[in-house]
Structure 1
Amino acid sequence: MSEYLKRGKAIARPLAVTIKRVNEIVRVWINYFRIGMMKQFMEEFGQWLRHKIRVIVMKQWKKPKTINRNLCYLNRKNRNGIGHEEIFKVVNSRLGWYRRSGMNVVNFIISKELLENRIKDGAGLLNPLSGYLVKAGI
């Protein structure tokens, strides 16, 4: 999974293609490991996966101006109530991509629900924990 989501390769693909392939891989893992007790692993894996997708999304936006515009748009659209100054701090931070996409502002704006439901081309990110719980019958 980490090989498929490497930043250099993942940003070159459209986001919908990346998410569809990630969902396929996650479904295969769930079907293969559904007998074992993997609830904790699936929860942690889901958090890591959403973080990586946020990194890819921000990296695809490339420039700070574009990142600022898109985060402000998503903030207004989803009514998150995060101030423009806080978004500006994240955008112009000198931290790396992974650290910036792990900040609370980005986590609230590009939320779990947004990743699962509202990606264009009908590709919503599968939540590994809920998929595992359904398959395992828990």
Structure 2
Amino acid sequence: MSSTFDPRSKGSQAAASGLTLFAAVMMLIAGFVDLFRGIMAIVHDDVFVTTPDYVFKFSLAGWGWIHLLLGVAALMVGVGLFKVSLWARILGVIIAALLLIVNFLSIPYYPLWSLVVIALCAFVIWGLCVVRHDDDLST
């Protein structure tokens, strides 16, 4: 039985734009979560756990600025992903990977929220990488 899969079919294009839309929404959520987390850390909120003798020890405000800047970057790239363009998908994977790494390193400070953002970023990376270049809808 021969395959009649056409990567440029309307169904394939709809799936590509649907996955990119999914990744855009997840990127916006991860961006907002990290933005709020950064603000909370900068103002020294009491929700953070103190971890003595942690290898990747920064001041709480230092982690806050890192999360704030990456959150803003994630929001900007998330908005750019609504165009379903290749440049936005590449930046989306890079920002999501950076968010994933930073949240992994800050697990001892806020464990549950870090794990939630790690999961969101993994879904973003999956959604952006599963779409092939042939399925790109931008011109």
Q: What is the TM-score with the length of structure 2 in the denominator?
A: 0.33
Decide which structure has the larger Cα Rg and report it.
Answer: 2
Structure 1 length as normaliser, TM-score? 0.33
